[in-house]
Structure 1
Amino acid sequence: MERFKVVERETKTKAYSKEGLGLAQKVDPAQKEKEEVGQWLTNTIDTLNMQVDQFESEVESLSVQTRKKKGDKDKQDRIEALKRQVERHRFHVRMLETLLRMLDNDSIPVDPVRKLKDDVEYYVDSCQEPDFEENEFLYDDLDLDDIRREMGENGGKLGKNGKKRGENGKKRRKTGRKCKKKGKKWGKVGGERVPL
């Protein structure tokens, strides 16, 4: 009987009363967990992008210095190492963005993403150390190869059903009209005419 009273009280509570506003703050534990993992993914992507910017600025400053002094082997080696590091970071950023998108679309559960957390944090924290060894099979358990291939074809813009999207994420429609001046084909993306 007590449980029934509690349920009845919750259903009769008005949305904008003090009690109703207090109830709105209660979040489903699964949704809260998903939001926390999504926030962690976003923060990790931002950290990796900041490191990429630092590496690129260092590459630029070293390349300016090596132009002045030709034949500096140490700086050339450092530039090559930084370029490899930038490529690895960009790979991880692409994979984490894919996971974030999949998590938002509910196409991947939270648990496999959470299992990656320790390895990804280790990579972010320790990638610049000289004795660092990267786990090359980090994302293999998630079977993201098919998704990466699809994303490579259309620049990462997929709809919910996996079909290609335009530059702004809207569905691309081919009309087959040709521009009179240049002979280019034009299509519509979200009501806008764009060259195909």
Structure 2
Amino acid sequence: MPDLSREELPERHQELLDVLVARHDLATNGRRNTSFVLLDHDGRRFAVCEYGAYWYEEGVPVHLAVDLATGSRVSITAHRASAIWPGTFWSFFEPGRVPADDPVRAWLAAPAAAPGPRPNVVVAWPDQLERYCAAELVRTDQPELLSQAELVADPELPEDQTALVRRNSAAALPYAVVFRHEDVLGVVNKLIGSGRGCPLPDL
């Protein structure tokens, strides 16, 4: 699990995090906002929200930022940045690491109002599962942004990840994956995705 201090990141990565947090806070007038704010920066589109987790006991806000081209995400505090899988973490800063034929990228590129049945997003790698789940959090909060998609676990997906998919409902899975090491039964599940989208799952 990549969990790096800001100082360990290249300066351009630190600057991206600073810009996203500052622009989120400006858009929300510094108020705590658990619905995603859409931000365009340097030719890229992001969704950013602020949520509560164990860090709030220490008074440190946490932002979740999702790249809407790849689903890559990071959680950001004043001092640290983290994700579950290295592929998710580093592709947030360098989206070219996610190939053009990536299934999550293909889903995110599809028009939100596309007619026909829901597309399948077939994930074979843990970072693909994490990226799908981060994007799904955004979709449930801003349903007009993305078409609903059916997650399919490829036989190549490691067993521990497949087990996560099997034991969680479609509504609960994004929380179980993205916030695996946090208190999902506490503050997080009451807030993320509760803006204008689907009701929150019971976890």
* TM-score after normalising by structure 1: 0.25
Which structure dedicates a bigger proportion of its chain to strand? 2
Based on CA coordinates, which of the two structures has the bigger radius of gyration? 1
The higher relative CO (CA closer than 8 Å, separation ≥ 6) is in 2
* TM-score after normalising by structure 2: 0.25
Which structure dedicates a bigger proportion of its chain to helix? 1
